[in-house]
Each structure stands twice: as structure tokens, then as C-alpha cells.
Amino acid sequence: QSALTQPPSASGSPGQSVTISCTGTSSDVGSYNYVSWYQQHPGKAPRLMIYEVNKRPSGVPDRFSGSKSGNTASLTVSGLQAEDEADYYCSSYAASRVFGGGTKLTVL
Amino acid sequence: DVQLVESGGGLVQPGGSLRLSCAASGFTFSNYWMSWVRQAPGKGLEWVANIKEDGSDKYYVDSVKGRFTISRDNAKNSLYLQMNSLRAEDTAVYYCAKDLGYLAFDIWGQGTMVAVSS
């Protein structure tokens, strides 16, 4: 088991697309389709945005999409909007620390 | 509305104890695993513990094993976290979260702050 690795920061201009990666191992991300993504605004509770790699809960805009290739999962935000600026965390079943370290997304 | 509401946080001295509660509503509480997740000031999310639907299985992050105990009362739709021998590094906002069963969390409470300091 090991921790999930995310880039500490990402950025994009309004209307652009940005992709955040989440790298695990063959024992967690690579073995299970149980990768989730969470959005967290300052001072707020996290919000589930993607589960089971690419499924969106009700109410999550379809601008948010998830994918996985090998041991790396990705969250793509298309058509960036100002309100997308937040911290994003991935998680995976069987990952030693469950959550990645988080990525701060800045909308320029 | 589906809702989780935590309570019980506060300021406690090192070595002290605290019991957190989480009241669930709007869903069949007894059908779901539940978890506690914490976030130290300015830091990322850390899963702390989870408990099976009927309370028969419980798991903890290594750093709290032997000090924290997760429990639930399905008749009261409530989740608990008993925290003993608290340390400064336990200072965090503690969230309860509804678990989809594979450490994915679809419903979160608003969080309760625990500060461990002398």
C-alpha cells in the first residue's frame, strides 16, 4: 500500500480545460475501479464529484469527468468557471492513506 | 434532505478525552458503512476510521489505533468517535461521512473542530 500522488497545483483560464492526475500503484488505483474525486472550497466540507472512476453523482455538472489508465486516475474539468477554483482530492480503495495530498486548482 | 450533523468538538488538553457524535437523517443509516475523516489546519484530508453497517467490523488509521474507538447506534441514527489520549497532532476538523462501501464518501457533515492544546 502507498499514498496517492497528486500535483500540488493546477491552473487554467475560464473556458479552458484542466486535468489533475492521481498516481497510485498496481495495488490500489491499478487494481480497482474505486477511484473518487472530491472538491473542497475554503472552510467548507468536501463534496463528492466523481466516484467509481467516471461516475458523477446527481447535481455534479457534466463539465467534470474522470478516467483511469493503469495506475493513474485523472479528473478533467472542462469549460473552467470561476467557481471551480478549489482544492481537489482523489481517493482510492486499498490506498494506504485513502486520500491523495490534494491539488489546488486556480482559475486565472 | 440527506444530512449529517457532527457535534462534540472543542478544546482539550493533551492526554484528555473527547467524544464526537454525528446525527444522520434522510437516509437509512443502518444500511451503510460510515467513516470519520479529519483535516488538520491547512492540511489535506485524512481518513481516520470506519465501521460496518451493523457495527461488527471497524478499521482505523495506524496513528489512532488503541486511542480512538468508532461506534454507532442504528436505533438513534448516530455515529460516534471516542477519542482518548489526545495529542496535539490530533488537532483537526473532524467530518463524519457516509461511505459507499469502498472508502468513497458521498455525504459529508459540516465538521466539528477539535483542538488539543495546553
Q: What is the pLDDT of residues B31-60, one digit of tens each?
A: 999 999 999 999 999 999 999 999 999 999
The answer, yes or no, to whether residue B9 has pLDDT greater than 80, is: yes
C-alpha B52/C-alpha A16 separation (Å) is 42
Question: Which of B3, B102, B107, B108 to mutate: most A Cβ within 10 Å?
Answer: B102
Q: What is the pLDDT of residues B57-92, one digit of tens each?
A: 999 999 999 999 999 999 999 999 999 999 999 999
In our burial notation (b when 16+ CB lie closer than 10 A, e otherwise), range B46-73 reads: bbbbbbebeeeeeebbeebeeebbbebe
Residue A1 has pLDDT above 70, yes or no: no
Mean pLDDT of B12-22: 98
- Cα–Cα distance for residue pair A2/A28, rounded to 1 Å: 8
For the cut 90, the answer to whether the pLDDT of residue A94 exceeds it is no
Give yes or no for residue A2 having a pLDDT over 60. Answer: no
Residue with cell 491523495: A100
What are the cell numbers at B79?
455515529
CB–CB of A38 and B105 under 8 A?
A: yes
Query: What does the pLDDT average to over A56-73?
Result: 97
Position A4 pLDDT exceeds 50: yes
The three grid cell numbers given for residue B15, joined into one nine-digit string = 492526554
CB-nearest partner of B100 from A51, A87, A102 = A51
Q: Which residues of A touch B (CB under 8 A)?
A: 32, 34, 36, 38, 40, 45-48, 51-52, 57, 87, 89, 91-93, 97-102
DSSP conformation letters of B4-50: EEEE--EEE-TT--EEEEEEEESS-GGGSEEEEEEE-TTS-EEEEEE
Q: How far apart are CA B72 and CA A22, in angstroms?
A: 32
